[in-house]
Amino acid sequence: MEQQKQDETEGKEECQLCRITYSIYSNFPPMPSAMALNAETGEWFPFDRLKSYSNGYEMAEALGYAWACDCRERSRNRFDEQFVLRDRKGRPFANARYRARVGLNVVASGVTDAAGRTQRISTKDARRLTLEISAGV
Ligand SMILES: [Zn+2]
């Protein structure tokens, strides 16, 4: 009985990733000249911005690893899509090497299948996603 009660409570709490992230960055002293890196986009931003967020999830998002979070609904802000690559005549690029980039970071790479499909590509900001195709094999 006690155990069940506890489980219910934990389901509404933040996951370990969010909790730890928050406990780390909310306790940092101000560092006006320091920069932090978003691991997903490869972009730097002022480190002190992290302290302005009210929870660990927003911090993790800014740092580019919110995809590892377990306590938020991932699909809400997240773009997760499979692409079909086609040439100008609409024919699929079968067995084509591709790379998906967000900014300078390669977030996925592989070879399309016979129907020109990529693997599922998951990223926070689909507007910044770039697909590059190398010559077919
Ligand atoms: Zn979380």
Helix (H) or strand (E) holding 36: strand 35-37
Q: What is the reported pTM?
A: 0.49
Following CA atoms 78, 74, 100, 126 in sequence, which dihedral angle do they give, to the nearest 10 degrees?
A: 0
Distance 16 CA to ligand 1 centre (A): 7
pLDDT of res. 26: 93
Instruction: Give the Cβ contact number of residue 115 at 10 Å.
Output: 11
pLDDT recorded at residue 18: 94
CA of 66 to the centre of ligand 1 (A): 7
Q: Is 118 helix (H, G, I), strand (E, B) or coil?
A: strand
Given this model, what pLDDT does residue 78 score?
Answer: 63
Domain positions in the chain: 2-75, 78-136
In which band, very low, low, confident or very high, does the pLDDT at 133 lie, cut at 50, 70 and 90? confident
> Which pLDDT does position 135 carry in this prediction?
61
d(CA 133, CA 73): 32
Q: Provide φ and ψ at 24, rounded to 5°.
A: -70, -55
Q: pLDDT, tens digit, for every residue of 5-31?
A: 444 444 457 899 999 999 999 999 999
Ligand 1 center from residue 87 Cα (angstroms) = 40
User: Nearest-CA neighbor of 25 among 59, 65, 58?
Assistant: 59
